[in-house]
Amino acid sequence: MNSWHVGGVILDQYEVIGILGEGGMGIVYKVHHRGWNVDLAVKSPRLDVFTEEEGKENFIREAETWGRDPAGLRRIRGRRQPL
């Protein structure tokens, strides 16, 4: 079950711990990766970001260049296309 709320579990491996921030493109969640036993930051984009090609390109560019570790989280780079 995929549920983006505190206590929810995404893709059977990411437990949602809290919200780190919100912006124009989506919400950044603090999650715990059950297999790796580490906390990570994951941005879940708003669906309307992808209604125009420019929005999609901006989100992908942001994902590729994001370089900070909010709240002392480990940096993991990667992205998953929306289902």
Cα 64 to Cα 55: distance, rounded to the nearest angstrom: 14
pLDDT band at 67 (very low <50, low <70, confident <90, very high): low
Q: For the chain, which domains are there?
A: 9-72 (3.30.200.20)
Cα 73 to Cα 69: distance, rounded to the nearest angstrom: 5
pLDDT at position 49, please? 78
Q: What is the tens place of the pLDDT at every residue in 5-56?
A: 899 999 899 999 999 998 888 888 999 999 999 998 888 888 887 788 888 8
pTM above 0.75, yes or no: no
First to last CA, the chain: 13
pLDDT at residue 57 tops 60: yes
Cα 5 to Cα 51: distance, rounded to the nearest angstrom: 24
